[in-house]
Amino acid sequence: MAKKTKKKSKLEEKLTRKEKLVWDKLSKKEKNATFKFSQDYKVFLAKAKTEREAVVEIIDFAQNNGFKPIEKVKGAKPGTRIYITNRKKNIALIVLGTEPVENGMNIIASHIDAPRLDLKQNPLYEDEDTKLALFKTHYYGGIKKYQWVNQPLAVHGCVVRGDGSATDIIIGEDPDDPAFTVTDLEPHLYHKKQAKRKLPEGIKGEELNVLVGSVPIEDDDAKVKVKLWVLNHLNEKYGIIEEDFTTAELEIVPAGMPRDIGFDRSMIGAYGQDDRICAYASMVAIASLKKPKKTSIALFFDKEEIGSEGNTAVRSRFLENLVGELIELSNPDYRDSVLRRALSRSKALSSDVTGAVNPNFKDVHEIKNAPKVGYGLVITKFTGTGGKYSSNDANAEYIGELRRLFNKNKIPWQTGELGKVDEGGGGTIAKFLAEHNMEVVDCGPALISLHAPFEISSKADLYATYQGYKVFYKN
């Protein structure tokens, strides 16, 4: 009779690849560190709901961790900590290395904008029949419009007044604040028309109007009294008039705080985790450096969600300009070729999230190649759509370097792709970084419900991301 054995095949052990759930491998100490890190991340998320607010939080963190604005930096000593901002929506944190910048830099680049509803330039109106006041919006980035109705929303942003002075506005986050909402049609009346629409049209763009008031102002001569009540209130509180909306950037975002998800509190549910989870992890990782070999940079870009156009996005000259500034600190008469060499010898992580397998919709993924929450940092060789079109397809040699680095340092990692072949697609800033001829690959955690008003991440993946970014910089 054959002996019963529980032994694994040695050959299988040696040759096959297995992905392991991060939680299985964490010691008690590591679990505690994971939960502690997640608490701090939630505080950041709660305060950084827009790209402008993210920049404010990053500057605050940078100043508390010894980073100085470049204008105040003299000379280029290894370990010098610098930050450079661009129009309040784009920022870079830098730690100078022991090697010259010309030898190349270690760069981690994330984005700090997130899908939302932007107010139009003439947003406020009073509906004639219902006497309700509303804001017109134009959605920003890839949203499923029906997800934005029937929930408390907040207004965040800035208004530039006629005299050029500006004011920041946040309404809807304090429990005593009023909130706002987009109203949907009730089930009793939706069968004949709305129920027949296809899902993307369930709520149409011009139906994303935000409810902001219903009380008429006490002014017998006024024609649109409910609208005027709102305008008068805004004028008393912020000193603004209707024309000031034309010079404002006001964003409608989900109101409320990040939450732990699950009985075991192992996940986080919050707005804007794409891509502030990477922004936060890279911000804390770069602050852990003392004197790295390579000059290390954490970049935080705006406008990724609408194609990285505009002067606060990765496609502006911000990166080239800042690298020029860094070289100039030690070499004021440098030639253009020095700048080009510095960029093309650099290594970058396009630190962005990817869509994790959702147990309710598994069939859009090819499960052997799909990323899952709880399995660590995801290296995504290519994104794009329809035959890798419009994607940065990272070099095997570069991914090989990361593989060795992560394995050596016991960083949990997995591979990822966006979905089944020809199922859909998307892109990140990787291809724009590659235009500088640097090595770059997408590398960040996977989220469930990507781009929803409430996105889900795993605390284990967040911590793995932070640890992975740290060893990348220290390399």
Total number of residues binding Zn ion (CB under 5 A)? 3
Q: Other C-beta atoms within 10 Å of 204: how many?
A: 12
Instruction: Name the one range near Zn ion by CB under 5 A: 159-167, 261-269, 333-341, 352-360.
Output: 352-360
Shortest Å, Cβ 450 to Zn ion:
8
The residue at minimum Cβ distance from Zn ion is: 275
Which residues touch 82 (CB under 8 Å, ≥6 apart)? 67, 68, 69, 70, 73, 93, 94, 95, 96, 326
Shortest Å, Cβ 305 to Zn ion:
7
DSSP string, 252-287: EEE-S--EEESTT--EEEETTHHHHHHHHHHHHHHH
Shortest Å, Cβ 304 to Zn ion:
6
- Residue closer to Zn ion by CB (options 412, 445) is 445
What's the CA angle centered on 44, arms 244 and 307, to 5 degrees?
60
Q: Bridge partners of 384?
A: 426
CA-to-CA separations, 104 to 96, 293, 341, 344, in angstroms, rounded = 11, 10, 7, 7
Shortest Å, Cβ 434 to Zn ion:
17
- Residue closer to Zn ion by CB (options 213, 445) is 445
Q: Does 126 bind Zn ion (CB under 5 A)?
A: no
- Residue closer to Zn ion by CB (options 451, 459) is 451
- Residue closer to Zn ion by CB (options 439, 442) is 442
Shortest Å, Cβ 117 to Zn ion:
18
- Residue closer to Zn ion by CB (options 173, 352) is 352
- Residue closer to Zn ion by CB (options 152, 426) is 426
Shortest Å, Cβ 315 to Zn ion:
15
Q: Which one of residues 102, 173, 251, 352 is an interface residue with Zn ion (CB under 5 A)?
A: 352
Side-chain-side CA neighbours of residue 1 (13 Å)? 3
Shortest Å, Cβ 274 to Zn ion:
4
Q: Does 53 bind Zn ion (CB under 5 A)?
A: no
- Residue closer to Zn ion by CB (options 326, 456) is 456
Q: Tell whether omega for the bond before 275 is within 30 degrees of 0, i.e. cis.
A: yes
What's the CA angle centered on 407, arms 403 and 411, to 5 degrees?
100
Q: Which residues of 173-185 are buried (b: 16+ CB within 10 A; e: fewer)?
A: beeeeebbbbebe
Q: Does 455 bind Zn ion (CB under 5 A)?
A: no
Instruction: Name the one range near Zn ion by CB under 5 A: 220-228, 346-354, 368-376, 383-391.
Output: 346-354
Q: Does 251 bind Zn ion (CB under 5 A)?
A: no
Instruction: Name the one range near Zn ion by CB under 5 A: 69-77, 116-124, 347-355, 372-380.
Output: 347-355
Shortest Å, Cβ 142 to Zn ion:
10
Shortest Å, Cβ 426 to Zn ion:
9
- Residue closer to Zn ion by CB (options 210, 299) is 299
Q: Does 57 bind Zn ion (CB under 5 A)?
A: no
Contacts of Zn ion in 4-43 (CB under 5 A)? none
- Residue closer to Zn ion by CB (options 126, 274) is 274
- Quick one: 23 exposed, middle or buried, by C-beta within 10 A (0-12, 13-18, 19+)? middle
CA separation for the pair 60, 458 (Å, rounded): 26
CA separation for the pair 136, 149 (Å, rounded): 14
Q: Does 275 bind Zn ion (CB under 5 A)?
A: yes
Q: Which one of residues 274, 302, 455, 461 is an interface residue with Zn ion (CB under 5 A)?
A: 274
Residue with tokens 């852990």: 288
- Residue closer to Zn ion by CB (options 62, 418) is 418
Shortest Å, Cβ 309 to Zn ion:
15
CA separation for the pair 147, 82 (Å, rounded): 40
**What Rg do the C-alpha atoms of the chain give, in angstroms?**
24
Q: Which helix (H) or strand (E) holds 403?
A: helix 396-408
CA-to-CA separations, 253 to 89, 99, 227, 310, in angstroms, rounded = 17, 43, 22, 22
Q: Does 244 bind Zn ion (CB under 5 A)?
A: no
Residues that bind Zn ion (CB under 5 A): 274-275, 352
